[in-house]
Amino acid sequence: MLASAPVSRNSALDLPDEDRLDPHPDPAPQPAAARAVVLVGMPGAGKTAIGRRLAARLGLPFRDADTEIESAAGMPITEIFARYGEPHFRDGERRVITRLLAGPPVVLATGGGAFADHATRAAIKQSGAATIWLRCALPTLLRRVAGREHRPMFLNADPVEVLTRLMAARHPLYAEADVTVTCTDESPEATTRRVQDALADAVPPTRLAVGLGERGYDVLVGPGLLGRAGGLVAGLLPSRKVVVITDSAVGPLHLPALRDGLEAAGLSVLTEIAVPPGEGSKDLARLSDVLEAMLLAGLDRRTAVVALGGGVVGDLAGFAAAIAMRGVPFVQVPTTLLAQVDSSVGGKTGVNLKAGKNLAGAFHQPRIVLADTDTLATLPPRELRAGYAEVAKHGLLQGPLWDWCEAHGAAVVAGDTAALTHAVVESCRLKADVVAADEREESAEGGRALLNLGHTFGHAIEAEAGFDGSVLHGEAVAVGLGLAAALSARLGHCSQEWPSRVVAHLADCGLPARLADLPGRFTVDALLGRMAKDKKNRDGTMRFVLMRGAGECFTSADVPRAAVEGLLRDEGAG
């Protein structure tokens, strides 16, 4: 409620008729947009002028939040501030905006402080409206606010000082808008066209929830997320200080965009730590170096660690975040297909030991995962194919996704944007559901352990290859999937034709699918020795994920050692 006299008018506000407005109709208005559009920005950014024109172009009614508030309260905003103070005004402003966005889609121009208010910002986001920040430089704003000395913020104050202070406070919050358009001194019509184009080009990310109660988080999948990273993560972090961990191959490609995105929301990057690319960086020595660099840069318990890179960087940075200061916030920004579809979701972090892969680590869930699909365009073909092995694994676990893989896997490894996005979204959807049901892999049967399909063999192969890059993780997993299918057939769990179907699809996608497809030689004793140290083993008994077919996978310890030995020998192990 805004004031004592007009309480009922605010709670039962009737929206004004369209013919009371001056929409400046476009000569060829488009069909009405499917959702509301909210314009945010500083006083003088042009929210009303652009909003009217944009509404006409989109075929939507235009509303101005300040006008609606004054109508509801029966007095100017200046008087509301003078009588009741800003907290009272913000509460009423939120109620009016929430009401306007609860109805049919509109174009809504908000006051400069509306989106800076936490509760109002949350209400706007929850409404599903598209938000656009009209960003203006200080000189442009000063010219536009001339003559507005009656506004509460400018009363008896220097406009330069007021705007400078408000820009510093509000710009990091405006950065949480879906779209940012930089406004100049061009005509309102030209700016409106650019706003409309930016709105049309914007692709809302797919948001998947990992349901872990208070530790739950979202996985966002879509293009352009690096440039919006600050706005997407700022509200989830206890402070605006971060350290970024990446590798020397990914950093030059994607670190500038991430840095700009973080700084746009007022996040301060204390340091950027780059490790050498490859599995060799996932060891205790490198972990120690990373921890020392983080602490030297001034990391404290409120500082977040941002992992920018593939699975190696995510595992290493996540483990560092888990143990630094006994645990600091963590954000995953995966840039490889393998990391986006698998390792970035679920909170598994760790490093390798001489005894095997990921034998030192911790469960440490991220605050959010930003899977920017634009980064996949920079992957070498071999890395893209290796990442696809995890997609195929998810297909085998889920069932219908395997049918999709057989039809579209070639498009994924060829870099088709739509196919890649579908692969990432569906893989993350599957993994989010599995992790939510069995976060720490404690189910007696099935559960999260199913995600290790092909990994008992794959991890052994990878470790035996020495983590030297000759066999990538995804390549080892691909061979492991073929071996798991063959073992399932030998044990009578699936048809004898099933392994050939699995191997043929992986091979068609350019992946090694048989042990003989890998460089180097592997011995039965060496591989069994590695598998004996697998984390999934219980009471000294090896456990495998087996399959009856796509969508019918299960865990089993009832696997005779002789069957595994015979399979490895038949596949070419010495």
Any idea which residues carry the catalytic annotation?
Answer: 326, 348, 390, 431, 441, 448, 452, 455, 459, 473
Annotated binding site for Mg(2+): 48
Q: Give the separation between CA 467 and CA 280, rounded to whole angstroms.
A: 6
- Which string of b and e fits 20-44 if b means at least 16 CB within 10 Å? ebebeebeeeeeebeebbbbbbbbb
Q: Which residues pair with 133 in a beta bridge?
A: 40, 180
Choose among 60, 62, 57: nearest CA to 21: 62
Tokens for 116?
């800076």
Q: Give the separation between CA 393 and CA 481, rounded to whole angstroms.
A: 7
Q: In what order do the strands lie in the sheet with 179-182?
A: 62-64, 107-109, 37-40, 130-135, 179-182
Tokens for 40?
């945010």
Q: Give the separation between CA 508 and CA 481, rounded to whole angstroms.
A: 14
In the DSSP assignment, the letter for residue 16 is P
Q: Give the separation between CA 545 and CA 451, rounded to whole angstroms.
A: 8
Tokens for 455?
């990994």
Do the strands 348-353 and 356-363 form a parallel or antiparallel pair, or are they unpaired?
A: antiparallel
Secondary structure of residue 306 in the 3-state scheme: strand
Do the strands 241-247 and 304-309 form a parallel or antiparallel pair, or are they unpaired?
A: parallel
Choose among 448, 404, 452, 457: nearest CA to 426: 404
What does R_g of the chain's alpha carbons equal in angstroms?
Answer: 28
Contact by Cβ (8 Å): 373, 419: no
Contact by Cβ (8 Å): 232, 370: yes
Residue in the structure block whose two tokens are 């000569």: 27
Q: Give the separation between CA 31 and CA 38, rounded to whole angstroms.
A: 18
Q: Which residues pair with 379 in a beta bridge?
A: none
The DSSP-derived string for 27-48 is: SSPPPPPSS-EEEE-STTS-HH
Contact by Cβ (8 Å): 404, 367: no
Is 545 buried (19+), middle (13-18) or exposed (0-12) by CB count in 10 A?
buried
* H-helix or E-strand spanning residue 66: helix 65-73
Q: Give the separation between CA 229 and CA 497, rounded to whole angstroms.
A: 47
Annotated binding site for Zn(2+): 390, 455, 473
Annotated binding site: 44-49, 66, 90, 112, 151, 170, 311-315, 335-336, 348, 357, 375-378, 390, 455, 473
